[in-house]
Structure 1
């Protein structure tokens, strides 16, 4: 059986709307891709610290887990919404670009800090930046998977 391509979904995860959006997007992609979503599949700093781990150790644990997941992914999908792109997403995008991973973005938000749009480092790291979830999902499926993969 064919193995599903893997996506690292880099997205802000700091409020209920972001968490819900990320989860819904993962749900739309799961039939076609293995999706690593840090809020579900990784470690969350706030949870580790709440369990009594020191902040320094908790940060290292989150960092290491996400680095492994990025290295194992075929593609990074970076959610670029907001006037300022989330700094974690920016790092994840740059790291994956440096690894030679395929990088795509989604910016369905009209807010932007620069009058010319995203910072050039973001635009140049992404092969494509989509402005709707529908166009992104359609492209991903057409590019990687014509039909849902069987569970492996």
Structure 2
């Protein structure tokens, strides 16, 4: 199964979390793509004004090639790029599994985990990597 691993990658802490998740997923036998591997910082710099378009196209093309999207939903609101990836994958009929390790409520109602549009675009939302691996076995 091919997994697209979505989530913010702007801080060293975020990248380290994603590296650890990717390692667990690969160890479990999945093929994993994440945006940090799609474009190097040097490529992005060299693209100049075309960088936003090229980044979006690389992510979109990688999403097209995946079976499942695993999306990190932590924070007071879901990262905007991650939200776009979730919406795109949902619209294309891909399975989307959100992972929210953040204990804060970030939804629209007292029963929500995250924003209603994100929550309802996910086939499942899990709270830790062990639960994620269990859900992925059923995909």
CA distance in 1, matches of 2:20, 2:57: 26
Query: Where do 4+ consecutive residues of structure 1 move more than 6 Å?
Result: none
| Residues 49 and 30 (structure 1), Cα distance of their counterparts in 2 relative to 1, 3 Å cut | closer
**Residue 134 of structure 2 is aligned to residue 138 of structure 1:** yes
CA distance in 2, matches of 1:49, 1:71: 21
- Please list every run of 5 or more consecutive structure 1 residues that lacks an aligned counterpart in the other structure: 145-152
Superposition CA RMSD, Å = 1.6
The partner residue of 1:48 within 39, 43, 46 is 43
Asked whether the equivalents of residues 76 and 103 of structure 1 are also in contact (C-alpha less than 8 Å), the reply is yes
Partner SS state of residue 125, structure 1: coil
Deviation by residue 1:101-138 (Cα, 9 ceiling, x = unmatched): 01110001012344533111111101110011211123
Partner SS state of residue 13, structure 1: coil
The partner residue of 1:6 within 2, 26, 30 is 2
* 2:84 match: 91
The partner residue of 2:33 within 18, 33, 36 is 36
CA distance in 2, matches of 1:96, 1:49: 24
**Residue 9 of structure 2 is aligned to residue 16 of structure 1:** no
The two structures have a TM-score, normalised by structure 2, of: 0.89
**Residue 69 of structure 2 is aligned to residue 76 of structure 1:** yes
- Pair member with larger Rg: 1
Using the TM superposition, give the Cα deviation of residue 37 of structure 1 relative to its aligned residue in structure 2, in angstroms: 1.0
